[in-house]
Amino acid sequence: MARMKFLCDAERCIECNGCVTACKNENEVPWGVNRRRVVTINDGVVGAEKSISVACMHCSDAPCMAVCPVDCFYRTDDGVVLHDKDLCIGCGYCFYACPFGAPQFPQAGAFGLRGKMDKCTFCAGGPEPDRSEAEFKKYGRNRLSEGKLPACAEMCSTKALLGGDGDVISDIYRERVARRGNKGAEAWGWGSAYGQPPKGKS
């Protein structure tokens, strides 16, 4: 059984924001809502700067689900955490509970009035009929129902952001790390991120 997850390789992320743009374009996310964003630490410090792309991590034991007073969250058979906007009351408890800041609230009126919660759906839409206009308007595109992976992961140019079944993407990452070698904290740069060239080649 698949457990859909995201995995971001901090050695490879170049802070291009391609994933953010892909998400916004694919799901026609309104202004002020960022389902995905790139976080950078030690910005500008050579060798210490690291970036990571963050969105809903589709937790196996999701705190947002636990705190929601109207139980609008549910988990699909693939392990994707989704919510029903017809039930959401926009209270914001999920925002306080989420360690990743994934839940977003669009401005729904004057004076900063909040609308219903919006978050990454792993490009799996919502409870409306799959590929329907209602689903697209409320939740964005349903790529999983088309046999595709989330647009952010598929668009990532350096393949820093991996999306899919936790077992499969962690295998890809593990193989990548083994190729880099065990260098520890000093590992950074092109050779580290993409592995060393095979012996005999420059």
Partner 1 sequence: MMRGLMLLGAALFAAGCMEVEQTSGASAKTPGLSVKRDTPAWNNEPLAHGPKWIKGDRASWEGEIKNRQLTQNEDHRINP
Amino acid letter at 15? Answer: E
State the Cα–Cα distance between residues 202 and 197, nearest whole angstrom.
7
Least distance in Å: CB of 87 to partner 1?
A: 5
Least distance in Å: CB of 64 to partner 1?
A: 13
Amino acid letter at 46? Answer: V
Q: Does 47 bind partner 1 (CB under 8 A)?
A: no
Least distance in Å: CB of 195 to partner 1?
A: 7
Q: H or E stretch including 39? A: strand 37-41
Mind spelling out the 3-state secondary structure of 42-103? CCCCCCCCEEEEECCCCCCCCHHHHHCCCCCEEECCCCCEEECCCCCCCCCHHHHHCCCCCC
Site string for partner 1, 78-117 (x = CB under 8 A): x---xxx-xx-x------------------xxxx-x----
Least distance in Å: CB of 45 to partner 1?
A: 28
Q: How many residues bind partner 1 (CB under 8 A)?
A: 50
Interacting positions 143-182 with partner 1 (CB under 8 A): 144-149, 153-154, 159, 162-165, 168-169, 172, 175-176, 179
Amino acid letter at 70? Answer: V
Helix, strand, coil shares of the chain, percent, nearest 5, are: 30, 15, 55
Q: Does 131 bind partner 1 (CB under 8 A)?
A: yes
Amino acid letter at 147? Answer: G
Contacts with partner 1, residue ranges (CB under 8 A): 2, 69-74, 76-78, 82-84, 86-87, 89, 108-111, 113, 124-131, 142, 144-149, 153-154, 159, 162-165, 168-169, 172, 175-176, 179, 195
